[in-house]
Structure 1
Amino acid sequence: MRVAIVLNTSWNIYNFRMNFVKELMALGHEVHTIAPLDEYTRLLEEAGCQHHVIKMDSRGANPIKDSALILEFFMIYKKVKPDVILHFTIKPNVYGTFAATLLRIPVINNVCGLGTVFLKDNLLSAIAVFLYKVSFRFARRVFFQNPEDLQMFIEKKLVTNKTADLLPGSGIDLKKFHPTEYKRNEKFTFLLISRLITDKGVLEYIEAIQKLKSEGVNAKFQILGAIDEQHKRGIKSELIRKWIETETVEYLGTTDDVRTFIEKADCIVLPSYREGTPRTLLEAASSSKPIIATDVPGCNNVVVNNYNGMLCKIKDATDLADKMKSMSELKEEKLREFGRNGRLKMEAEFDESLVINKYLAALKKLE
């Protein structure tokens, strides 16, 4: 089969879908990747993908401006003539599906997370729901990363039970992210791994840090992730510089390999407002690290309170600070237990092979 994989960045394909791509190639399928040009595009081509560049802004949502994507997708799909298209992320899911439908090409869509638009009740949210409702009528299969998102789409009649299915996120490569022997740092170290946007709970994390420091908690607080001022909910670099200058937090920048940073931390923190299935938490749990995350869909599918970490209230810096303080006061054996439990959960529920096999089964039905 000629399979097209469409995302909003080449980086996303290379970092999160590459094992699936390699499996497709090993089975003799011809893989075409479609995404904007970035530094990872070359790596996709070197791996054997036939890449097609599309101009797509992954930030924000303007349905009038974004509707032009339908024509761009249409022209690429007409040229490539794929047997099936797998869409990931919002814009490919919606506008790519419209284009594929005009060409009568079957699509498999993936809802990797709802985004803030579904957390609000406004005109933009209403338009997004409408676009999903119309476009998803034409999808052969729609995969979701947590049961809450799936149920919401069914209740809003955006998908049917017949087309909807559940995946354990993008899965985790258990060989790449393997446990290391836990040794507590002299200064207990918290690490948040995320783009610096408000939806990820970064502001609550900073407020919690300030509260803990005022109480005399002797710990180290870190952030690893890209500054994204252009994002509608991006945090200004001026504010981030202030956090660094006042030594509120240690900013680690960005990396192509998070494993070293995860290994050096005592606890991974993600106070996000809502997720599909957060990759950061899968990586942390697979690496046997205790986790603190918000009790929201996506996060609470990975973290079970007092089993492999702790859950805190959404948008509540005080509760987050309380959980962080409690975590830092745990004995080393309890921290090890959280880590072991997290790894067991990943092996049982989130192994990447489970995801790949579901995709392959869906493709087989279209042959």
Structure 2
Amino acid sequence: MSQLIALVANSAWNLYHFRGNLVRRLLQDGYRILIIAPRDDSSEKLADLGCYVVEQPMDNKGTNPLADLQTMRELKRLYLEHQPDLVLHFTVKPVIYGSFAARSLKIPVINTITGLGTAFLSGSWLMRIVETLYRHSQRWPSRVFFQNPDDRNLFLSRQLVAEEKSACLPGSGVDLKRFMAAEYPASQPIKFLLIARLLRDKGIVEFVDAARQIRKIYPHTSFQLLGPLGASNRSALADEEVAAWVEEGIVEYLGETDDVRPFLHAAHCVVLPSYREGTPRALLEAAAVGRPLIATDVPGCREVVDAGVNGLLCDVKNASSLAAAMQQFLDMPLEKQLEMGVAGRLKVEKEFDEELVIGAYLAEIPHLLPK
């Protein structure tokens, strides 16, 4: 029987949309694939690909140690039941608690640090606990992939992971055949689009405040939000807050979608004022279709945006700095906007092709599987 590889994350949606082509390649190579994640609309899509999908609830925003210990016990039970030959963990809780579970059963592990999470960014007692959990859990994995050098260097400086086990990937990559360069919109007014889960950590509040400032000077400028409300996260925005912004006429809320391409094609500039990222998929996909970018000068974002080349950078948690970048873009000649879009596409082709990411996993996996 072919070898079994388990992929574990905090949502099936995450695995289908961010790791779908990796899953397809592993299936093509003859591996059996076990998916362990909370059930959502993407669970059936993963099953249709040929994966065996097991539902495992996770309290993604919770800080209850008893609940987290239960998650670890459940993962250990599933690993014992299904006997995977290798486990790939994505997102914070699987990376930590899945590693503990796999270690107890001596199952090889590849972890991917897709972002540090709200708790790690808080600077509170909770951050110190999370640091301790990382330090002990990351001793077991054979390889720990990071999505930007800042996160890797932070883990190394705090001795949370061994240098020889760690490596950087260019995010989760972009499917360049799906995200093709698209004609720049000729329509006016200028549309600024922010694609993200509606979390405070994504800089949504700063985006709205900057929009208010810009609308005083350029009243017809459009500001759009695209992404799920009600995310299971401590920094999630309330529905009422977003509804109030829409009622005020400052932003347009586009809802959520499984295909962002039509929205990217209609936008003039894609904005992400996030507080910190792994490597933001929204910016990569926007650059791939040839859209200029505005993002905060923080880990993850600064790896995608070359200031003045394919976009502009602004200060984190600073609506006035974001507004200044938006005004600079609005005052920019069309030729420069087009140049930025072309430069973004070229950068993604060179540095962030999904094939580079898939290749890194495929190179690592055979060394860890039992002979």
Q: TM-score, normalised by structure 2?
A: 0.97
Tell me whether 1:125 sits opposite 2:133 in the alignment: no
- Asked if the contact 2:11/2:40 (under 8 Å) is kept, the reply is yes
Q: C-alpha distance in 1, partners of 2:320/2:21?
A: 40
1:289 counterpart (288, 291, 294): 291
2:29 corresponds in structure 1 to 27
Tell me whether 1:236 sits opposite 2:262 in the alignment: no
1:357 corresponds in structure 2 to 359
Q: C-alpha distance in 1, partners of 2:140/2:298?
A: 30
Q: C-alpha distance in 1, partners of 2:340/2:219?
A: 22
- Asked if the contact 2:192/2:267 (under 8 Å) is kept, the reply is yes
SS at match of 1:92: helix
Q: C-alpha distance in 1, partners of 2:231/2:167?
A: 35
Which segment drifts farther, 272-281 or 47-56?
A: 47-56
Q: C-alpha distance in 2, partners of 1:100/1:334?
A: 51
Q: C-alpha distance in 2, partners of 1:179/1:96?
A: 39
1:6 corresponds in structure 2 to 8
- Asked if the contact 2:183/2:265 (under 8 Å) is kept, the reply is no
Q: C-alpha distance in 2, partners of 1:73/1:57?
A: 14
1:271-350 to 2 correspondences below 5 Å: 271-350=273-352
Q: Can you give the 5+ residue segments of structure 2 that lack an aligned partner in the other structure? A: none
1:257 corresponds in structure 2 to 259
SS at match of 1:121: coil
Letter aligned with residue 208 of structure 2: I
Task: Note the aligned Cα RMSD (angstroms).
Answer: 1.1
Q: C-alpha distance in 2, partners of 1:121/1:41?
A: 35
1:148 counterpart (132, 150, 171): 150
Shift of 1:79: 1.0
Shift of 1:94: 0.6
Can you list the C-alpha shifts for 1:111-134, whole angstroms capped at 9, x where unaligned? Answer: 000123222322111110000000
Tell me whether 1:139 sits opposite 2:175 in the alignment: no
Can you list the C-alpha shifts for 1:158-192, whole angstroms capped at 9, x where unaligned? Answer: 11111001100001000100101213321011000
Q: C-alpha distance in 2, partners of 1:290/1:60?
A: 36
- Asked if the contact 1:185/1:266 (under 8 Å) is kept, the reply is no
SS at match of 2:259: coil
- Asked if the contact 1:184/1:332 (under 8 Å) is kept, the reply is no
1:102 corresponds in structure 2 to 104
- Asked if the contact 1:193/1:225 (under 8 Å) is kept, the reply is yes
Shift in CA distance, 357/230, structure 1 to aligned 2, threshold 3 Å: closer
Q: C-alpha distance in 2, partners of 1:230/1:96?
A: 19
Which runs of 4 or more aligned residues in structure 1 lie more than 4 Å from their structure 2 counterparts after TM superposition?
none
SS at match of 1:137: coil
Can you list the C-alpha shifts for 1:30-89, whole angstroms capped at 9, x where unaligned? Answer: 111110111111111111001111121222433332111111001100111111000000
- Asked if the contact 1:205/1:271 (under 8 Å) is kept, the reply is yes
Shift of 1:268: 0.2
Q: C-alpha distance in 1, partners of 2:5/2:197?
A: 30
Q: TM-score, normalised by structure 1?
A: 0.98
Shift in CA distance, 60/311, structure 1 to aligned 2, threshold 3 Å: farther
SS at match of 2:138: helix
2:193 corresponds in structure 1 to 191
Shift of 1:336: 0.9
Once the two structures are aligned, what percentage of the paired residues are identical? 46
Q: C-alpha distance in 1, partners of 2:313/2:187?
A: 22
Letter aligned with residue 94 of structure 1: I
